[in-house]
Structure 1
Amino acid sequence: MFTKNVGTIDRVLRVVVGLALIAGFFLDTEAAYRWLYLIGIVPLATGLLGTCGLYKVFGINTCGTR
C-alpha cells in the first residue's frame, strides 16, 4: 500500500517521541497549550506505518530497501 521509507532506528525514535508527547497531553493537565502535545500523533503514525510523506517529497529514504 505505502512505500516504506523510514528505517528501523528512525521508526523507533518516532514512536518513542510520539508516545512521550501524547503522554504529556494526559499528564500535564494544567498547561495552557495542552493541545499541542497532540502533535505527537504525527510521529507515532509515521513510525508505526513506516512511511513519511515529507521524506517522499524530499526523496529521503532511511530504510535499507528501495
Structure 2
Amino acid sequence: MKNVGGFDRGFRIILGIALLSLFYFLPGYWKLFGLISLPLLITGLTQKCGINKLLGRNTCRIN
C-alpha cells in the first residue's frame, strides 16, 4: 500500500538528490552524510514509508 504522495514524494526526491551531491563534493568522512539521501530516495521512488505506516499517516490520495 502506498502512503507517500504528492508534495511529500517530490520533497523527498529533491532533498535526496541534493544530499546525494554531498557524497561527491565533501572530502573524507564527511561523505557519509551523503548516504542519508538513500532512504529519502527509496521512499520517494517506491512511495512506501515505514515510519508513515507506524504513525498511521497517508499522504497518498489514491491507494
Aligned residue number for residue 9 of structure 1:
7
Structure 1 length-normalised TM = 0.85
Residues matched between the structures, number: 63
Q: RMSD value over aligned CA atoms?
A: 1.3
Aligned residue number for residue 57 of structure 2:
60
Runs of at least 5 residues in structure 1 that lack an aligned partner in the other structure = none
Aligned residue number for residue 38 of structure 1:
35
Structure 2 length-normalised TM = 0.88
Runs of at least 5 residues in structure 2 that lack an aligned partner in the other structure = none
What percentage of aligned pairs have identical amino acids?
A: 38
**What stretches of structure 1 move > 4 A for 4+ residues in a row?**
none
- The structure carrying a bigger helix percent of its residues is 2
